[in-house]
Chains A and B, each alone.
Chain A
Amino acid sequence: MKLLRRARRRAPSPDSTDAVLLAAVADGSTEALETLHRRHAPWLRARLRYRCSDPDQLDAALQETFLAVWKNAGSFTPRPGDPDAGAWLWTIAIRQLISQLRKRANRWIADSDSEPYETIGDASAEDTVLLNIEHGPLGAALHTLSPELRSAIQATVLDGLTVREAAEILQIPEGTVKTRVMRAKARLREALT
């Protein structure tokens, strides 16, 4: 029994796909978690750094992210044909960062339980276009946007946040986020047609 379990735990190698590694993590393998950490922590950190300048909070958010992975690895369901967990990890990481920022902003308010993590599902047509930013007309169109509109688009579409979360990370009211996103999308549509 024990030998069998050990044999199963040894299975994931450093080259395994994210889905395999996460399955192993759900089984309690710390080696698999280490591999995931090594593979994903650097880019998550680089990306989070664009949203938070405090290295301590950033590291805390990353640590919470991988702890959440350790606890919720079983809830990862890869999309067919795509074992990559990058998007899933990012949704966890950005939410952990928001929760870190919130903790600092109002320490006296009890932290509400975070919602279960979901992969970013079916994006709307607009979002899909935006997610495939290349050096095409969209890049130029984005350049014409004011920084405020751009950051609103970035938080809601690129980071996959809800309006409420975007309001928290941008530190502006929810209503403002909504109008900015609407205006930005209208502007982009104009520029692209």
Chain B
Amino acid sequence: MSWHLTPAQVDEYVSSTVDDVTAMSVEAHLMHCPPCRSLVPADEAWLADSWADLRDIVDRPRVGLLERALTALGLRQTTARLLTATPQLYRAWLVATVVVLAAALLSAHHLPRGSLLFAFTAPVVPLVGVAVAYGRGVDPAHTLTSVTPLAGQRLLFLRSCAVLVPALVMCTAAALLMPSPTTLWNAGFWLLPSLTLVAGSLVLSRWMHLSAAGAAVGGLWVLAMVLFAATDQISVLELFAPVSQLWWAAALAALVGAIVLRVRPA
């Protein structure tokens, strides 16, 4: 550029006191001349406001795929954000679940009476997930979350559901992959015991840490399994027989009723 605008010319241009032709000339020059452009006075207050508005839009976090899927399923946006914001709480556990179920499937396909292992593990897998979903020592941010109004019952059940749904889906998928003929019964026989165990641990969590409650209930389940195996008189599979399912259903109803009663006054 062979010539440059004088500050006076720029000022006149900005204050709209030049004639059309000079304005055209200035504009043609400004488009290609950064030094003259920097002479245009900046209204600092306006610039700051304008940038603040802009940053507000630009800085919005991108909504993740899972979060969008959850919102599409009808969850409130804040809830979806809450669930997806803590992937650390679920990721390790999800991987562990896959491994355990894969091992159970493998044994079912290759060992005699191996499908029993699946019958043992399927009810406990969701329980373990729920047990490590909430509480001190499990959640690194528990001290922070515990002082928010959201903490306590609501967050506990929210996280439990977030854990339960994928766990149940995975267990069902595993059940459908079992070597025995796939019927509705074979795919779902473990469901009621599993839900009962989870409900039991949630009820117990009133008096103890959720993880401890989960461990206690899970321990009971394992103990029962061992006892059944030791007595030899009744088969373990009796636990899943249609009559037992009725008992499980009754227990589940009672436990859910206890939970609801406990949440209601809160």
Contact = CB atoms under 8 A, between A and B. Distances in A.
Interface of A: 30, 33-34, 37-43, 45-47, 49-50, 59, 62-63, 66-67, 70, 84, 86-87, 90, 130-135, 139, 142-143, 147, 150-151, 154, 158
B47 A86 contact: no
Interface stretch (B26-34, B67-75, B100-108, B243-251): B26-34
Contacts of A131: 28, 32
B207 interface: no
B169 to A, nearest CB: 32
Nearest to B42: A42
B28 A133 contact: yes
Contacts of B231: none
21 contacts: A37-B47, A38-B42, A41-B50, A46-B40, A50-B16, A50-B23, A63-B50, A66-B54, A67-B54, A67-B57, A67-B58, A86-B34, A86-B37, A131-B28, A132-B28, A133-B21, A147-B20, A151-B20, A154-B20, A158-B24, A158-B27
B148 interface: no
Contact of A130 (B28, B29, B37, B47): B28
Contacts of A30: 55, 58-59
Contacts of A134: 3, 25
A90 B29 CA distance: 13
B43 interface: yes
B21 A139 contact: yes
Looking at A39, A41, A150, the one whose CB has the most chain B CB atoms below 10 A away is A41
A142 B21 contact: yes
A133 B25 contact: yes
Interface in B228-260: none
Given A46-B13, A143-B21, A63 B53 contact: yes
Contacts of A41: 42, 47, 50
B88 interface: no
B24 A150 contact: yes
Contacts of B54: 33, 37, 63, 66-67
A84 B34 contact: yes
B183 interface: no
Interface in B114-129: none
A50 B27 CA distance: 10
A133 B58 CA distance: 38
B188 to A, nearest CB: 44
B25 A139 contact: yes
Given A42-B42, A43-B40, A37 B24 contact: no
A43 B30 contact: yes
Contacts of B34: 84, 86
A62 B50 contact: yes
Contacts of A150: 20-21, 24
B15 to A, nearest CB: 9
A132 B25 CA distance: 8
Given A59-B50, A86-B37, A158-B28, 13 more contacts: A30-B58, A38-B51, A41-B47, A47-B27, A47-B30, A63-B53, A70-B58, A84-B34, A86-B31, A142-B21, A150-B24, A154-B20, A158-B24
B220 interface: no
A2 to B, nearest CB: 16
Contacts of A43: 30, 37, 40
Nearest to A150: B20
A94 B55 CA distance: 22
User: What 8 pairs between A and B have smallest CB-CB spacing?
Assistant: A133-B25, A42-B42, A43-B40, A142-B21, A42-B40, A43-B37, A46-B14, A133-B28
